[in-house]
Amino acid sequence: QKEVEQNSGPLSVPEGAIASLNCTYSDRGSQSFFWYRQYSGKSPELIMFIYSNGDKEDGRFTAQLNKASQYVSLLIRDSQPSDSATYLCAVAMDSSYKLIFGSGTRLLVRP
């Protein structure tokens, strides 16, 4: 059974701080990694994707991938109250079309 694990949180950080969200996955065949943001009652919204080991930066967001450790993370710099949401980690294998989602980490950014 292919699993994607996330700490459910909530992760509470003050405004302006760095929020660090983590995700582990069980299948070494996983090739593509995605972070989605989901506000309550809304659909997943793509934040970032990463395919290769290392860091990938996009504005205030940095995704980090370590395939040897089967670990992917998302750093949010200068966190804003509007970043308060559930962050979903999703994984896909090259041989499959489906995304396997973690249960999400709820982030609260305190003003």
Instruction: Give the CA-trace dihedral at 88, 89, 93, 96, to 10 degrees.
Output: -10
Q: Which is nearer to another protein, 18 or 39 (CB)?
A: 39
Give the binding site for another protein (CB under 8 A): 31-32, 34, 36, 42-46, 49, 51, 88, 90, 92-104
Query: What is the separation of C-alpha 36 from the centre of its chain, rounded to a whole number of angstroms?
Result: 6
CA–CA distance, 77 with 27 (Å, rounded to integer): 29
Q: Which is nearer to another protein, 37 or 79 (CB)?
A: 37
How far apart are CB 91 and another protein at their closest, in Å? 10
Q: Which is nearer to another protein, 47 or 107 (CB)?
A: 47
CB atoms inside a 10 Å sphere around CB 39: 12
How far apart are CB 58 and another protein at their closest, in Å? 13
